[in-house]
Every structure is written in C-alpha cells, then in structure tokens.
Amino acid sequence: MLQRLGNWYKEISHELLSKVSWPTWEELQGSTTVVLITSLIISIIIFAIDSLFNYGLQFIYGG
C-alpha cells in the first residue's frame, strides 16, 4: 500500500514538473487582467438590466 502511494506521488510530481506547461508571470498577469475586466463588464451589464427591470416594474405597479 505504501509503495503504491509512493509511486503515485512520484508520478504526480513528474507530471506536474515535466508535462504541465505553466504560464509565465506575464501571461498570468494578462489572463488575470482579462478576467477582471470581463467580470466588471458583465457585472455592469447585469446591473443595467436589473435597474431597467426595476424601473419597468415600478412603472407598471405604480410604486
């Protein structure tokens, strides 16, 4: 059992160190920037739609 666990750990370590392509620091920063900007844009769009529906319902129900 311990030998199987040791082999599994060695295989995982080998795969993470030699087979996985890790992004560079610049690529990571660029991807993070894209995610943040996209999240901000989507949240603004959702806020606008929610405000529009709120205004419409207040108009309909006279609130």
Residue 63 predicted with pLDDT over 70: no
Q: Is the pLDDT of residue 7 over 80?
A: yes
CA dihedral 56, 61, 62, 63 (to 10 degrees): -80
pLDDT tens per residue across span 16-48: 999 999 999 999 999 999 999 999 999 999 999
In this prediction the pTM is 0.67
Evaluate whether 31 touches 23 at the Cβ level (below 8 Å). yes
3-state secondary structure of 53: helix
Question: d(Cα 35, Cα 33) in Å, to the nearest integer?
Answer: 5
pLDDT for residue 28? 97
